[in-house]
A and B are shown apart, each in its own frame.
Chain A
Amino acid sequence: MSEHIVSVKVYFAIFLALLVGTVLTAWVAFFDFPGPLNAIVALTIACIKAALVILYFMHMRYSSRLIWVVFGAALFWLAIMFALTFSDYSTRSWLPVF
């Protein structure tokens, strides 16, 4: 068998980390950080939690390069969708309204 079996210890550590992340993100939401920091803090915690789930629960860390590329393609196209849409909406006010 060439399949990698993740140990229960690792699963449990990730589970605890996800719980801590949830408590942390709910707790910091009660503080008002200056400017866009509120969203940045919340999204950073969410991204770390998602990365833990993908790498360990979904076994990405032990998967082939091919699966990494497939997942990377999703992020790449998502970035294109966001970038092109916001390049439109954020520049609409540059032109006078006729």
Chain B
Amino acid sequence: MAESYATEHEVSHPGLQHHFENMDQQREASALGMWVFLVTEIMFFGGMFLAYTLYRWKYPESFEVASNHLDIWLGAVNTVVLICSSFTMALTVYCTQIGRQQLQILFLVLTMIFGVTFLGIKAVEYKQKYDDNLIPGRLIPGHPFNPSVQEEGKPADKHKLHLIPGATVRNVELFYWIYFAMTGMHALHMIIGLGIMLVLLFFSVRGRYGPEYHNPIEISGLYWHFVDIVWIFLFPLLYLLGRHIGHG
């Protein structure tokens, strides 16, 4: 037994760590480890989705009004950008698996470009909310939550809150707490993802990943797709819920 064990290691890939029998076992273990981490991430974001669901259920009118103030087009474009980045990430994994190193690097860079584009559009949105005094509480000193409310009979202004019966400014602020917490945590995950990809890029250029060994690419892809899935739920829940009440 001891001999066959030694032989297997002698012919194995330099990327195989000593505590694994073979590359398949190592790959399975790393994927499992990533999935366990993603379970904790699902529970983490799940808590915020729970807070959203609870307060939307309690204050439906205020949530519709607040949601109506978000820019649906920026949100939709960002959804498409993120789906593109997930697609190029999947192709990064594919090109690594078939051993096309140049394409692997190309798709990795494309994924990062899409990721940065998403964050840029997000920054534009945050700036708009800042200009309309919609940053909740006193997060920014000297710039408290203080949106103007649209008055009856005045020409419609998209920078003002269009309150409907049952909606209050206080509960609109609650929506914006949840909005900034969820999109902020999501953006932080994107920034961490981009950091991971910089490391992957560094080693990809050096040719570390190929058909036999590409666990880091594979499991970073899992993480990136997870972040995409969070946004797939955030987009309809935050941006689209008040759309059918008209104005905005």
Footprint of B on A, CB under 8 Å? 1-3, 5-6, 8, 11-12, 14-15, 18-19, 22, 25-26, 29-33, 38-39, 42-43, 45-46, 49-50, 53-54, 56-58, 63-64, 66-67, 70-71, 73-75, 77-78, 81-82, 85-86, 89
Contact = CB atoms under 8 A, between A and B. Distances in A.
Complex A-B, nearest 5 residue pairs according to Cβ-Cβ distance, in ascending order: A32-B244, A29-B240, A42-B236, A29-B243, A74-B39
B47 A22 contact: no
Contacts of B39: 70-71, 73-74
Given A39-B241, A53-B86, A64 B28 contact: yes
Nearest to B76: A26
A95 to B, nearest CB: 17
A22 B27 contact: no
Given A1-B211, A25-B236, A70 B243 contact: no
Contacts of A50: 229, 232-233
B54 A43 contact: no
B240 A70 contact: no
A63 B35 CA distance: 11
Contacts of A31: 244
Contacts of A57: 86-87, 89-90, 221, 225, 228
A16 to B, nearest CB: 9
Nearest to B41: A74
Given A5-B98, A50-B229, A22 B76 contact: yes
B127 to A, nearest CB: 22
Interface in B82-135: 83-84, 86-87, 89-91, 94, 97-98
Most chain B beta-carbon contacts within 10 A, residue among A42, A43, A58: A58
A70 B36 contact: yes
Nearest to A48: B232
A50 B225 CA distance: 9
A10 B36 CA distance: 26
Given A42-B236, A64-B28, A74-B39, A58 B225 contact: yes
Contacts of B16: none
Contacts of A77: 43
A14 B88 CA distance: 12
B236 A45 contact: yes
Interface in B164-220: 211-212
A19 B244 CA distance: 22
Nearest to A50: B229
A89 B38 CA distance: 28
B101 to A, nearest CB: 16
A74 B91 contact: no
Contacts of B245: 32
